[in-house]
Structure 1
Amino acid sequence: MRGKLDLDRRPLVLIWELTQACELACKHCRADAQPRRHPDELSTAEGKALLDQAREFGEGQLVVLSGGDPLAREDVSELIEYGTGQGLRMTLTPSGTASLTRERLADLDDAGLRRLALSVDGGDRAAHDAFRGEDGSFEATMAAAEAARDLGVPLQINTTVCAETVEQLPAIRDLVDDLGAVLWSVFFLVPVGRGRVLTPIDPDRAERVMSWLHEVSEDAGFGVKTTEAPHYRRVALEESDDDGDFRRRLGIRAGKGFAFVSHTGEVFPSGFLPQSAGSVPDESVVDIYRDSDLFRRLRDDDALTGKCGACEYRAVCGGSRSRAYAATGDPLAADPLCGYEPAGYDGPVPDQHPAD
């Protein structure tokens, strides 16, 4: 599918943030989640209309239901069943709370859930719960992972990389393997929401982590991908003898192969790039993705500026547009996490710390 995907017409991933309500207070939370649901969340009927629109992207469109904690809504199974009936591949990223029971997972499985993504940000209970801000989160997450395995629901593990978690990565890798996950999705911190109080790793450390992730990917029984770190593809291409899989994923980044619908219907290039290009249900998410000025500019590799614009890998990578926006206010600027120097480039090197 990736090799045939026209990113001007269709995203690889469409994320819908069902709600920002969540019981946890995670240090990195992009959504700055709240205890209660927002009164202006998309309703069930409006959500189904959004899924109808998503179907227009084409059969098998991947839709990720996220939050906050999407299980704070009672209509999750209904929405998954509806989307599945529309030919969409429906996946879910719940929080590790008491709501994530075996019975609830069985209900989601019956509705047609294609994959469950759980967050693990520490290699043991103490490290994970401290990062998540809730005692018992690790235990709930492990129980949900076991239930997913018993039900035959494919499991994805998401991990945030920052100064507070980077030393935990080897232990988390072992957990990913032990849990039988099919994919480890590694998120490199973008300082938005509560994540502004966390410390990003520096570009040299990021390069070493990406090189290590590539080594893991060659031997592991699960896939490895990065989020908001597209230069992982450049690292992998430099180190890999078989670059076919990476070539099939060229250029996927915020606004280019990726779109995000907020809990109130605003359409963003990414949940980490809070610049609206329009809103549903008044507008079609298909039209916004394909035709809005913001999305079109983000898909233009030649519109990138600074070091990213000069880089010979810009079509492979293109840098994190979200991190560039967080650091400079310009989504087309250079990604401050990347330490690579394009051949012959003698312009300014971006500050790795976000602007105040």
Structure 2
Amino acid sequence: MKRPPHVSGPPDPSSIDTSERPFVLIWEVTQACNLACTHCRANAQPKRHPDELTTAEGKRLLDQAREFGPGQLVVLSGGDPLTRPDLVELVEYGTDHGLRMTLTPSGTASLTPEIISDLEDAGIRRLALSIDGASPDSHDTFRGETGTFEQTVEAAKAARDVGLPLQINTTVCAQTVDELPALRDLVSELGAVLWSVFFLVPVGRGRILDPISPDRAEEVMQWLSDVSDEAPFGVKTTEAPFYRRVSAQRRRDASDAPATDRIGRRNGIIAGDGFAFVSHVGELYPSGFLPESAGTVRDGGLVDGYRNSELFQSLRDRDALRGKCGACEFRHICGGSRSRAFAHTDDPLASDPLCPYVPNGYDGPMPTGRASSD
């Protein structure tokens, strides 16, 4: 029997002070996964790590998340969360304690209609599935396992059958960028409510992949803005916040940028500022793609680490950004990918090398690690 709802809905995004709470809290419940995806941030392995947060520790983490305020959004990610036998129990616990629980499982044979139904009964609010190619061949090659495209599409249909909102995540790199128009059509066919488009950050196994150039990224942003205007689903970018700058420019002025995207996320959310990540062993990071620790949640440090650590506070100060990101008039609605800046320079406050925009009058150094033009 489906559990009664314990959360009426998301808090008003305009009411969220991102210096006090994240809009999105991701918990990497495990790094175990049976896939070997070429872009995997976590370098996922088949077996679970012996120092993963236990069930009891996970529940204490969810208790800490409640301290941020009503309706905190918690994303359970991995690896593949389904490798944890206590997954449904954790979803139930979070739901019963007023958290908005969502899930990003891997597209494997474990993601059956039965487990999707169990998760929906437990109170899961959204299922996010990754599709990186519009055909079985392209997707399965990227994911490193034959059959994952079919399994993921079947899981998407199963989510639709039980009325569970579906999000599709797609990685953009040189290998996948030409698939985007066909993927847009597939996202629509599957009835997704949101397409989350992730622009590669060179961490984990993703270091071996080729990113697209800044100029190509700008073209993709323009195209995504058109898709957002026309599609029946929302569009957001991950680790590419200059999508907001592109949208603002299309509206002629930075002050005209919309206050939220179509799923209620406030503009300007970046790693450490409205976003936080807890690793499988309990380390608190600004993002899974920015592996600088602000302490551990095992000692109850989630809320204090997010609000008061020097790392998180620095990431929330847009006037502390360096280079052309610091000089950019769009820094408060964009802020650049702090994760990509860190991956290229070891400085999370440096300029995002994927963004080609140069602020008027800026004559300082350009970001290091910029890809060559396509």
TM-score (norm 2): 0.93
Query: What is aligned with 1:178?
Result: 189
Superposition deviation, residue 284 in structure 1:
2.3
1:227 to 238, 250, 264: 238
What secondary structure does 2:27 align onto? strand
Cα drift, residue 155 of structure 1: 0.1
User: In the alignment, what sits opposite 2:356?
Assistant: 339
Deviation at 1:297, TM superposition (A): 0.3
- Alignment map for 1:129-278 (pairs within 5 Å): 129-240=140-251, 243-246=257-260, 249-278=266-295
2:42 alignment partner, one of 9, 31, 46: 31
Q: Give me the whole-angstrom Cα distance separating, in 2, the residues matched to 1:234 and 1:283.
A: 37
- Aligned-partner residue type, residue 235 of structure 2: V
Please point out which of 289, 295, 308 is paired with 2:325. 308
Distance 1:348 1:313, change over 3 A: same
C-alpha contact (below 8 Å) 1:259/1:268 kept by paired residues: yes
What is the aligned counterpart of 2:101 among 59, 75, 90? 90
Which SS does the other structure have where 2:26 is aligned? Answer: strand
Alpha-carbon distance in structure 1 between the residues aligned to 2:249 and 2:360: 15
Give the letter for the 2:194 counterpart: L
> Do the aligned partners of 1:228 and 1:323 also contact (CA within 8 Å) in 2?
yes
Q: Supply the distance in 1 between the matched residues of 2:343 and 2:67 (Cα, whole angstroms).
A: 32
Contact kept in structure 2, 1:233 and 1:246, CA below 8 Å = no
Corresponding residue SS for 2:170: strand
- Give the drift of 1:250: 2.7
Aligned to 2:125: 114
User: Which residue of structure 2 aligns with residue 296 of structure 1?
Assistant: 313
Amino acid at match of 1:282: D
Amino acid at match of 1:321: R
The residue aligned with 1:42 is 53
Matches of 1:153 and 1:245 in 2, distance apart?
26
Secondary structure, in 3 states, of the residue corresponding to 2:35?
A: coil
Identity %: 70
Secondary structure of the residue aligned to 1:244 is coil
Conservation of the 8 A alpha-carbon contact between 1:96 and 1:119: yes
What is the root-mean-square deviation of aligned Cα atoms in Å?
1.2
Q: CA deviation at 1:2?
A: 1.4
3-state DSSP of counterpart to 2:248: helix
| 8 Å CA contact 2:166, 2:191 repeated in 1 | yes
Secondary structure of 2:115's aligned partner: helix
Amino acid aligned to 1:188: F
Mark the CA change 1:352 to 1:208 in structure 2 (over 3 Å): closer, same or farther.
farther
Q: Is the 8 A contact 1:237 1:246 kept in 2?
A: no
Partner of 2:8: none
Distance in 2 (CA, whole Å) between partners of 1:231 and 1:152 is 33
State the partner residue of 2:338.
321
**Matches of 2:175 and 2:338 in 1, distance apart?**
23
2:22 to 11, 14, 17: 11
1:71 paired residue number: 82
On the 8 A contact 1:254/1:321 being kept in 2, the answer is yes
Maintained 8 Å contact 1:259/1:270: yes
Normalising by structure 1, report the TM-score: 0.98
SS at match of 1:221: coil
Output the CA distance in 1 between the equivalents of 2:286 and 2:211: 22
Distance in 2 of aligned mates of 1:176 and 1:240: 26
Alignment of 1:280-291 (within 5 A): 280-291=297-308
Q: For residues 280-305 of structure 1, what are the alpha-carbon distances to aligned partners after superposition, in whole Å with 9 as ceiling and x for unaligned? A: 12132111100000000000011100
Aligned AA (2:87) = V
Offset from partner CA, 1:63-110 (integer Å, 9 cap, x none): 000000000001110000000011100000000001000011111011
Aligned mates of 2:235, 2:200 — CA distance in 1: 17
**Counterpart in 2 of 1:101?**
112
**Runs (5+) with no aligned partner, structure 1:** none
* Aligned mates of 1:244, 1:337 — CA distance in 2: 23
Cα drift, residue 143 of structure 1: 0.6
